[in-house]
């Protein structure tokens, strides 16, 4: 009897030990948390200095540390796992039109606004303000992309708003505040304000001239710039922002307005949120369908000049699409390298496997090219007021970069996701979120074809813009034979290439030439050579991971994310 008892105890003990062994976690990388997103990105750091914002390095160090903390990373997950909720009415049946966000969303917003992501170039007009802000956005968006939408629209609204100085005076103090104030209250009671934009309607988004929302001037309005807006918008993101730049048809044609959520009399404006979109990605952010039922609005710019007025805003949000895509690629490749460094397969770490090195190095090339182009573009936003050449560059290069960097995003993130194997397909890794977000930058603020047609327009009508981009490309002449052949052909083809069907190919060639020119001048030879050989000549394949064998894979990976 005693013997049996002892045997049982031994058996149970053995079973417990073996159960413990099955739960021992082996060969799984530790989560990538508590790291400084800026300090580990030498491409971004050197671009910050080169493009004129070296002074901002301490701010970026601090912000990079903050967004890399385990806590901030958790906010990103929580804000996406708990998407915003719309309340159309209160319990008595009154319309309220309010959206409730998870506290994590507010934490992310507070961090971004406090660090000047919506205001820096306007509130501190020092040299390099747009460059510094672009780098900050690049870090914020790596942690969580959804909240950068209201931040971007607020930043971008300023140049359009300034076309109506009385309105700018009233709103700018709030827009440029570094205090995040999410309370749904009239402007006079708030310490900070956020701005959105509503152009897209059901019957036409790209073709805004098809807008049917009507604007009627209010007889006897105090300033004669007051209107009532009636109609709808099919997409209106961040509807809890304090005011929106809206396009509507007035007597003289399509006109731009500032439509606040509260009227000057302190009443809720007749801005009705119909429903929130159920989106593929960008889930932390609310995107809504709205109706304006005689909503009060103030005109910005002249009647009939709506597109010219709002295009100033759109130009800046397009820059942010480039930043957004560069940032997704950066986060994706960092996650992929981190995983490969800490995961073994077939007796060696993944990072030591030649084919994995090829994939990672190829992803690094694409990410670096995107970051460099984005930062060079940001400099042209800083310099364009005092330089016709930079103005021309900004005009054409914004569209070129928006098209190409956004197009590369989804394929890039897809490949990075695969580097994590099954783990990359699981929500707890950030990769599925990056993957769902990636196509968006190519859709909003002008979808691919529409951007390419805009590039054609610039080429046909704005020779200064073409000359500025050409000058920038030419700066790298004589250093790489593939580049010289590619740039020569492009220059020859440019004047004759202006047909719609060829617009995508042309946009792609311009983007690749710009990226190669920047890499040749500012990266290490290993990166520039591999980029030119595979992107400008046919020495690579169509998927990532098809660089030729002579490429220095380890050097490229180590440069991207030092181990």
Ligand X SMILES: Cc1cc2nc3c(=O)[nH]c(=O)nc-3n(C[C@H](O)[C@H](O)[C@H](O)COP(=O)(O)OP(=O)(O)OC[C@H]3O[C@@H](n4cnc5c(N)ncnc54)[C@H](O)[C@@H]3O)c2cc1C
Stretches 117-125, 191-199, 301-309, 409-417: which one binds ligand X (CB under 6 A)?
Answer: 191-199
Return the number of the residue (210 or 355) whose C-beta is nearest ligand X.
210
Q: H/E/C letters for each residue in 138-188?
A: HHHHHHCCCCHHHHHHHHHHHHHHCCCHHHHHHHHHHHCCCCCCCCCCCHH
Return the closest-CA partner of residue 67 out of 41, 33, 117, 43: 33
**In the bound complex, what is the minimum distance in angstroms from residue 276's beta carbon to ligand X?**
11
**Based on CB atoms, which residue is closest to ligand X, 167 or 197?**
197
- CA–CA dist 419, 417 (Å, integer): 5
Q: Which stretch binds ligand X (CB under 6 A): 53-61, 205-213, 250-258, 341-349?
A: 205-213
- Determine phi and psi for 247, rounding to 5 degrees: -100, 135
Question: Between residues 135 and 321, which has the closer beta carbon with respect to ligand X?
Answer: 321
- Give me the least distance between CB of 202 and ligand X, in Å please: 8
List Cα–Cα distances, 62 to 66, 76, 115, in angstroms. 6, 18, 10
Q: What share of the chain is helix, strand, coil (3-state, %, to 5)?
A: 55, 15, 30
Number of chain positions touching ligand X (CB under 6 A): 24
Between 204 and 264, whose beta carbon lies closer to ligand X?
204
Closer CB to ligand X, 407 or 535, in the complex:
407
Tell me how far, at minimum, the Cβ of 288 lies from ligand X, in Å.
8
Which is it for strands 195-198 and 287-300: parallel, antiparallel or unpaired?
unpaired
- SS3 state of residue 194: coil
Nearest position to ligand X, beta carbon: 205
Least distance to ligand X, CB of residue 168, Å: 21
For residue 307, the minimal CB distance to ligand X (Å) is: 13
Helix, strand or coil, per DSSP, at residue 227: strand
Euclidean distance between CA atoms 551 and 193, whole angstroms: 50
Give me the least distance between CB of 314 and ligand X, in Å please.
Answer: 9
Candidate residues 66, 108, 197, 300; the one interacting with ligand X per rule CB under 6 A: 197
Instruction: Give 172-175 contacts, CB < 8 A, sequence gap 24+.
Output: 172/122, 174/242, 175/118, 175/119, 175/122
Nearer to ligand X, 432 or 448 (CB): 448
CB 158, min distance to ligand X, A: 17
- In 156-189, which positions are buried (b, 16+ CB within 10 angstroms) versus exposed (e)? bbbbbbebbeebbebbbebbbbbebbbeeebbee
| Contact characters 209-238, ligand X, x per CB under 6 A | --------------------------xxx-
- Told to check if 287 binds ligand X by CB under 6 A, we report yes
Q: Segment 255-284, which members bind ligand X (CB under 6 A)?
A: 279, 282
Which residues, other chains included, contact 405 with Cβ-Cβ below 8 Å and sequence gap of 6+? 321, 322, 325, 326, 370, 373, 374, 441, 511
Look at residue 265 and give its three-state secondary structure: coil
Instruction: Please list every residue from 418 through 457 that binds ligand X, using CB under 6 A.
Output: 440, 443-445, 447-450, 453
- DSSP letter (8 states) at residue 262: B
CB of 38 to ligand X, least distance (A): 28
Which of 143, 237 has the CB closer to ligand X?
237
Stretch near ligand X under the rule CB under 6 A, chosen from 196-204, 299-307, 403-411, 520-528 = 196-204
Q: Pick from 146, 150, 159, 205: which binds ligand X (CB under 6 A)?
A: 205
Binding site for ligand X (CB under 6 A): 196-200, 204-207, 235-237, 279, 282, 287, 440, 443-445, 447-450, 453
């Amino acid at each position: 009897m005693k013997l049996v008892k002892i045997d049982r105890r031994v058996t149970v003990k053995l079973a417990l030990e073996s159960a413990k062994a099955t739960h021992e976690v082996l060969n799984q990388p530790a989560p990538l948390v508590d790291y400084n997103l800026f300090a580990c990105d030498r491409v971004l750091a050197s671009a910050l200095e080169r493009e004129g914002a070296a002074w901002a390095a301490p701010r970026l160090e601090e912000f990079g540390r903050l967004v890399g903390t385990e806590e901030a990373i958790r906010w990103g997950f929580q804000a996406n796992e708990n998407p915003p909720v719309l309340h159309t009415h209160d319990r008595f049946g009154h319309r309220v039109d309010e959206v409730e966000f998870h506290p994590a969303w507010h934490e992310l917003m507070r961090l971004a606004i406090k660090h000047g992501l919506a205001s820096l170039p306007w509130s501190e007009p020092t040299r390099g303000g747009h460059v510094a802000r672009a780098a900050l956005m690049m870090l914020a968006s790596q942690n969580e992309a959804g909240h950068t939408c209201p931040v971007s629209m607020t930043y971008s609204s300023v140049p359009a708003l300034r076309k109506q100085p009385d309105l700018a005076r009233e709103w700018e103090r709030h827009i440029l505040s570094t205090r995040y104030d999410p309370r749904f209250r009239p402007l006079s009671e708030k310490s900070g304000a956020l701005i959105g934009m509503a152009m897209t309607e059901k019957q036409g988004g790209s073709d805004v001239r098809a807008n049917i929302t009507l604007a009627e001037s209010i007889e006897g309005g105090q300033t004669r710039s007051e209107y009532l807006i009636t109609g709808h918008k099919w997409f209106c993101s961040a509807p809890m922002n304090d005011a929106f730049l809206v396009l509507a048809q007035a007597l003289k044609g399509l006109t731009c307005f500032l439509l606040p959520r509260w009227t000057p009399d302190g009443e809720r404006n007749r801005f009705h949120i119909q429903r929130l979109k159920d989106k593929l990605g960008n889930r932390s952010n609310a995107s809504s369908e709205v109706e304006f039922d005689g909503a009060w609005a103030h005109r910005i710019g002249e009647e009939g000049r709506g597109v010219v007025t709002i295009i100033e805003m759109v130009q800046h949000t397009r820059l942010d699409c480039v930043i957004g895509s560069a940032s997704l690629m950066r986060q994706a490749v960092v996650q992929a390298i981190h995983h490969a460094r800490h995961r073994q397969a077939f007796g060696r770490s993944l990072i030591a496997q030649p084919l994995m090195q090829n994939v990672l190095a190829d992803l690094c090339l694409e990410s670096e090219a995107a970051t460099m182009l984005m930062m060079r573009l940001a400099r042209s936003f800083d310099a364009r007021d005092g330089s016709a050449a930079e103005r021309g560059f900004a005009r054409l290069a914004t569209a070129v970069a928006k098209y190409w960097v956004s197009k590369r995003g989804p394929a890039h993130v897809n490949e990075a996701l695969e580097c994590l194997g099954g783990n990359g397909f699981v929500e707890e890794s950030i990769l599925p979120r990056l993957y769902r977000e990636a196509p968006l930058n190519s859709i909003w603020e002008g979808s691919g074809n529409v951007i390419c047609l805009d590039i054609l327009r610039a080429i046909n009508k704005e020779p200064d813009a073409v000359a500025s981009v050409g000058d920038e490309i030419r700066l790298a002449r004589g250093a790489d034979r593939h580049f010289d052949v590619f740039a020569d052909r492009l220059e020859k083809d440019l004047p004759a290439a202006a047909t719609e069907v060829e617009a995508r190919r042309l946009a792609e060639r311009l983007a690749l030439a710009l990226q190669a020119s920047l890499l040749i001048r500012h990266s290490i030879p290993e990166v520039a050579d591999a980029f030119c050989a595979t992107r400008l000549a046919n020495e690579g394949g169509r998927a990532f991971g098809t660089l030729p064998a002579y490429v220095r894979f380890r050097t490229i990976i180590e440069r991207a994310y030092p181990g």
